[in-house]
Amino acid sequence: MNKTVWNKLNEEEKAKLFAFNEEYRKFLSVSKTERTFVINSVKAAEEAGFRPLESFDELKEGDKVYVNNRGKNICLFVIGRQPVKNGLNVLGAHIDSPRLDLKQHPLYEKDGLALFDTHYYGGIKKYQWVATPMALVGVVCKKDGTVIDINIGDKAGDPVVGVSDLLIHLASKQLAKTGSTVVEGEQLDLLVGSIPADEEKDPVKANILKLLKDEYDIEEDDFMSAEIEVVPAGEARDYGLDRSMIMGYGHDDKVCAYTSLKAIFDIETPERTACCILVDKEEIGSVGNTGMQSRFFEYTVAELLAKQGEESQLTLFRCLSDSRMLSSDVSAAYDPLYPEVMEAKNSAYFGKGICFNKFTGRGGKSGSNDANAEFVAKVRRVMDDNDVMFQTCELGSVDAGGGGTIAYILANLNMDVIDAGIAVQNMHAPNEVVSKADVYEAYRAYIAFLKDMD
């Protein structure tokens, strides 16, 4: 067996590792959606001395800056000793995770029960999302401009909701189906009430509407302009008898986002300007104005350059071309229960540090950013110089499946990009698992990259 991060740490370092992970576990537990992740990131950033970009007239070395894009996407910078135009060292990750979203007309009554209709978001094995406690987190935006925050199911004493599943006693036909159809998308509806109001038509629904009006001032039509995400209820937990892992919702990709965020908080003024960009919508193709395909990132870098007196587009292009990026997203952790989908030499293992994927994609690397070997060599040097343990891996064996990340989108700006990240078990299940050793080592890798990549 090759060495792990656990083997190289002394007791003092291990204590640091556990303390770092406890902070992560708490942050993750209250940051399950892109919106709550941004709210908590802004709060932490301000405590770490970051200020909104618009509050700066000019930018000088050591300045700490953030830009919040619509509450769902955030970009942070620490201005380097070199001018911004010389290029950035960028850490990127996504903060949306697979889940169920309420439809725009969600509420209905059927056979004496009130339900919320959902449309799932991202790639899920639907049968995993039933018979488990769920929370409702999001916003309802009213016509008058009021935004009502919804967060039901995570606070002590809160009720939870959930999707029902068929009892085993009556499931013989259901269990003969293939996995992808055992539970269908339109069956992923939430049971939300069973008390009838004193009304003729849909009395149980009427009772829920009255409750929503009384407690939140929401009318039925207001769901048309709402974004309510249905996420597993409850805190992330220590996992394993030795507490070496964390089980929780949304490690993909909040584990890379959190560690990247902490790295930019904790670096001294770097040589090159450091950047951390956390984006929305990766799980559905990085689309929309808060996803990585948005021009938001380029516009923000242009604003930064302008505050250093550089307003030409050519300067922006040169800056982006001279930038380097670790595009971080979770990797598939080797699972001894399912060895057949992995190729052992090129797999990610728990405890062996941050993963670098030269490429991702599917069916012959299709759709992948394939990092240039010259750049991979530089990344190896920076990791070795900083005593960071890393592993190189692929997303499963050839033709077992595959997937993509945001890496190619930034590579389109002509910067050097490599896929990096943390190994996870149960990817896209309601509860995913990571190794605390990898979480800590990724944080150390990000600091090394921001500080030393030239």
Applying CB under 5 A, the residues found at the interface with Mn ion are: 252-253, 329
252 vs 419 by CB, closer to Mn ion: 252
- Enumerate the β-bridge partners of residue 230: 100, 136
Residue 209 CB, nearest approach to Mn ion (Å): 35
Contacts of 110-115 with C-beta under 8 Å, sequence gap 24+, read 112/194, 112/196, 112/204, 113/191, 113/193, 113/194, 113/204, 114/191, 114/192, 114/193, 114/194, 114/204, 114/205, 114/207, 114/208, 115/189, 115/190, 115/191, 115/192
Residue 253 CB, nearest approach to Mn ion (Å): 4
**One-letter-per-residue 3-state SS of 184-222:** CHHHCCEEEECCCCCCCCCHHHHHHHHHHHHHHCCCHHH
Q: Which of 194, 196, 182 is nearest to 131 (CA)?
A: 182
92 vs 106 by CB, closer to Mn ion: 92
Q: 181-216: string of b/e by CB count within 10 Å (b at 16+)?
A: ebbeeeebbbebbeeeeeeeebebbbbbbebbeeee
Residue 408 CB, nearest approach to Mn ion (Å): 14
253 vs 416 by CB, closer to Mn ion: 253
161 vs 422 by CB, closer to Mn ion: 422
Contact predicate 153/133, CB 8 Å:
yes
Residue 293 CB, nearest approach to Mn ion (Å): 15
Contact predicate 97/256, CB 8 Å:
no
Q: Which 8-state DSSP code applies to residue 326?
A: E
Q: Which of 236, 220, 265, 202 is nearest to 47 (CA)?
A: 265
56 vs 121 by CB, closer to Mn ion: 121
Residue 328 CB, nearest approach to Mn ion (Å): 9
Q: Which of 76, 7, 23, 28 is nearest to 253 (CA)?
A: 28
Q: What span, in angstroms and rounded, lies between the C-alpha atoms of 16 and 9?
A: 10
Q: Which 8-state DSSP code applies to residue 114?
A: E
- Provide φ and ψ at 49, rounded to 5°: 95, 10
Residue 53 CB, nearest approach to Mn ion (Å): 27
Provide the residue type at 299 as one letter.
Y
Residue 229 CB, nearest approach to Mn ion (Å): 15
Residue 330 CB, nearest approach to Mn ion (Å): 5
192 vs 371 by CB, closer to Mn ion: 371
Residue 99 CB, nearest approach to Mn ion (Å): 11
Q: What span, in angstroms and rounded, lies between the C-alpha atoms of 265 and 277?
A: 13
Residue 428 CB, nearest approach to Mn ion (Å): 6
252 vs 394 by CB, closer to Mn ion: 252
Residue 282 CB, nearest approach to Mn ion (Å): 6
202 vs 253 by CB, closer to Mn ion: 253
4 vs 36 by CB, closer to Mn ion: 36
Q: What span, in angstroms and rounded, lies between the C-alpha atoms of 118 and 188?
A: 6
Q: Is 293 exposed, middle or buried (0-12, 13-18, 19+ CB in 10 A)?
A: middle
* Contacts of residue 222, Cβ cutoff 8 Å, sequence gap at least 6: 140, 141, 142
